Structure 1
Amino acid sequence: MSSCSVLLLLCLLAVHAISSESRLLSSGSSLDTAAGRLLRQYQPLASAAQGCSPGQYPTSQGGCEACPKGSWCPGGAAAPVPCSSGSSSGLTTQKQGATSVKQCVVPPGMRLTKKGSSLVEPCPKGQFRAGFAAAADAAALKCSKCSAGSTTTVAAATKKQDCKVLLPGYYWSRPGAKRGKPRAAGSVAPAQTADPVPRLCPQNSWCPGGIADATVTPTACPNGLWTEAMGATSQDECRVPPGHFLLGTGATATITPCSTGSLTTSPTQPGTYQPEWLLPNDTAAAACKSCGAGILSIANEPLAVYAADDDGTGRPKMLSVAATNISCYIRQGQGMVLDAGSTAADPVYKAVTCSSNSVGVPDTQYGLEEARCSECPDNMITANLFKSAITGGYYDVGACLVPPGYG
Structure 2
Amino acid sequence: MGRDEGAGPAPQGNHRPVMRAAFFAALLAACAHASAASGIRTEAYGVTQAGQPVEKVVLENARGMQLAYIDYGATLVAAEVADKHGKRTNVILSLPDLAAFERTRGRYGAVIGRYAGRIANARYTLDGKTVQLPANSKGMAIHGDPDPYDKRVWRRQDFADKESIGSIYRLHSPDGDQGFAGALDLTVTYRLLRKRDEFRIEYQATSSAPTVLNLTNHVYLNLAGAAANTLQDHRFQIAADRYLETDALRIPTGALLDVAGTPFDFRRAASVSARLGGVTGGYDHSLVLAKPVGAYAPVATITAAGRKLVVGTSEPSVQLYTVNGFDGKEIGSEGVAYQRFGAFAFETQHFPDSPNHAGFPSTALYPGQVFRSRTSFRFMTD
What TM bracket, shorter-length normalisation?
Answer: under 0.3
* TM-score of the superposed pair, with normalisation by structure 2: 0.19
Question: Larger Rg: 1 or 2?
Answer: 1
Q: Which has the higher strand share?
A: 2
- TM-score, normalization by structure 1: 0.19
User: Structure with the greater relative contact order (CA < 8 A, sep ≥ 6): 1 or 2?
Assistant: 2
